[in-house]
Chain A
């Protein structure tokens, strides 16, 4: 057996393998028709149905016609994603890291620093060219709103809107328990007293404050932050640029959870610990089993909006909202009486797109005045454009007016999502009864210190 035959065999084996796996490079059609893909956590008839309707019946046809008028043959395809936000993020991370993914992607603002840090997102200007800066829309979006998809002075996408958080309660259950509506608690004790009254009146789940890792960021935003901000401080000290990993406020917030879920069973801990807890909470609220639910305005405008999957047909009569009180008046973050926190979502253009110009054309068109107004008519929400007001929902307008002045945001840092997961874990350990608030805070301290380093944490004195 000669050496050359051996080499030949190896070559053959290699070529067979290469043939088996294929190395077909995606062809780019310069002049031919262009198909753009856009994806969001949205499903026709399911989660964020309004978004599907808006995109497929308004945006796509008008955009395709606009393009055709300019002599460009562009088609847009919607890729629906039915999983959770966390799963969508996983999908994006994996797609982008291998140079793949859809052209335009709905994106949660707080993911941006992590993705930018990893080099998976590029500034809009870099992806679609300097013509981005000529867009008329910038003049109608305030810098604060632009920053939703921004990081360190760069903009990575266009916002779709911001949100606020509050307590939603059921008028029917309140009246049944003899509680006067409209209702607005001014301290945690009042909040708990209301829950106790509801419990005595036979309401199955008086209050639900999100906790646990299965709910992901919904726990951090609608649960942990609402409690922590009310107890006095933020997760992050913006002056010292350090994470607060141990404090009396953290303990107080954890004790609020303990009172609700462990000591008095005013809430359903099971729902917080099982996989599909958030959807369960929506269903239980719809079915009249939950008295009070701390949620974002998305809950109002999408989840229980009449006609949606978990919609309540007479929503406006049955459901009211109240501001989340601080532990005691004036004891909240920045000395506030009431607290809330805002996030924001939007769209980014995939840096790997083969059709950056068309993707920008679509994105900028979606975010222009008429389409934004069309969406407002389908789902009134806090608008991202100053020339598009909240349309025809006084409740939404009132929430925005009352809560936007009180709001704060998450730290836009690449470490935040990891710290957030640790906070979710901390609440999980308390509501399951696995750890005491002190033990859970210690575990949080250990984990966050390991994540960000001893130099980047502070511990405040305990009472």
Chain B
């Protein structure tokens, strides 16, 4: 039997209208504008500012000039660094760490759990600039807290932001964002009936077996959702700029930082910046499609 809708489609549309207007003005319009911009040589400064020319696919060709695109500071290099950053800090860092913490405190209560959860969530909610500032101080070669600790333990004093800049921002972003995964996984874990675990325990399953045969299959959907969300966010994150400025020698220049440097520094090349934005949107879009199709498959 077909369920009778409370509202007609027209009324539904009416309720949606304000949202649609907002989407059109703040999402669709800028998108179209950026798309158009990416075919011009529009800048903010210089003579191409008042009189931009239509340059066709020039900006895209400049981005994908394969003779040089893997040079540090070029688009290919930025993509590669972003991929490493996402793999390190999103997949291994945030999802892995979040899952580990959630699992470690599964069905546990007490001071330790509360302390860890509070600290992890604190790392997540402190404003970005404050966090970045403390991390610069934490990682400083000469005076940083980390090296003071490592030095005392006789583990050497690595020059983090200079010699290991990518590792530094991966570490930073893992620390920064693990809270979301942790919260998501700990609430997902709550949904697993305790009897499953108890049965497994009676059968003599060890921790790994329990994880492999009970937790993982039941959490798979959540892990997938989390992975995709975290990947999308991490792909677009800009905060590492506050730690390294994209350097040294552009070794931490993520695509977001590359976009910023192109469109908002120097001559402010809006045209080329637009082209980067379009490519980024396409990448985000394909990630989102993967995400949506996976969700759909799960429901089917």
Contact = CB atoms under 8 A, between A and B. Distances in A.
Interface in B190-218: none
B44 A93 contact: yes
Given A1-B14, A118-B50, A425-B73, A270 B159 contact: yes
Contacts of A428: 249
A31 interface: no
B80 interface: no
A429 B62 CA distance: 20
Interface string B11-26: 1001001100110010
Contacts of A90: 264-265, 268
Interface residues of A, number: 40
Nearest to B163: A270
A330 interface: no
B17 A214 contact: no
The secondary-structure label for the interface of chain A is helix
A450 B46 CA distance: 15
Interface stretch (B146-154, B240-248, B286-294): B240-248
A115 B45 contact: yes
B12 to A, nearest CB: 10
A120 interface: yes
Given A1-B14, A270-B159, A275 B247 contact: yes
Interface in B222-255: 244-245, 247-249
Contacts of B267: 114, 417-418
A381 B210 CA distance: 76
B17 A9 contact: yes
A17 B22 CA distance: 9
Contacts of B22: 17
Contacts of A16: 18
A446 B247 CA distance: 22
B40 interface: no
A116 to B, nearest CB: 9
A293 B238 CA distance: 34
Interface in B6-58: 8, 10-11, 14, 17-18, 21-22, 25, 43-47, 49-50
A49 interface: no
Contacts of B11: 1
A415 interface: yes
B249 A273 contact: yes
A458 interface: no
B72 interface: yes
A434 B159 CA distance: 18
A383 to B, nearest CB: 30
B263 to A, nearest CB: 11
A117 B47 contact: yes
Contacts of B264: 90, 94
A443 B250 CA distance: 15
A58 interface: no
B71 interface: yes
A97 B44 contact: yes
A114 B17 contact: no
Interface in B264-279: 264-268
A118 B245 contact: no
Contacts of A6: 14, 17
Contacts of B44: 93-94, 97, 118
A414 B268 CA distance: 13
A421 interface: yes
A278 to B, nearest CB: 13
B268 A93 contact: yes
Nearest to A271: B162
Contacts of A94: 44, 264
B164 interface: no
A44 to B, nearest CB: 22
B249 A434 contact: yes
B102 interface: no
A27 B43 CA distance: 31
Nearest to B13: A6
B223 to A, nearest CB: 37
A114 B269 CA distance: 13
Contacts of A450: 62
B159 A9 contact: no
A432 interface: yes
Given A13-B17, A275-B244, A432-B249, A417 B266 contact: yes
A118 B46 contact: yes
Contact of A119 (B49, B68, B72, B266): B49
Instruction: Pick from B8, B68, B244 the residue with the most CB of A within 10 Å.
Output: B68
B179 interface: no
B161 interface: yes
Nearest to A272: B248
A434 B247 CA distance: 13
B216 to A, nearest CB: 43
A214 B72 contact: no
Contact of B47 (A14, A93, A118, A443): A118
A41 to B, nearest CB: 17
A424 B76 CA distance: 21
B17 A119 contact: no
A190 interface: no
A4 B265 CA distance: 48
Interface in B130-165: 159, 161-162
Contacts of A48: none
A93 B249 contact: no
Contacts of B46: 114, 117-118, 414-415, 418
Contacts of B265: 86, 90
5 contacts: A16-B18, A114-B45, A273-B248, A418-B267, A450-B62
Interface of B: 8, 10-11, 14, 17-18, 21-22, 25, 43-47, 49-50, 62, 67-68, 71-73, 159, 161-162, 244-245, 247-249, 264-268
Which 3 pairs between the two chains have the least Cβ-Cβ distance?
Answer: A118-B49, A273-B248, A117-B47
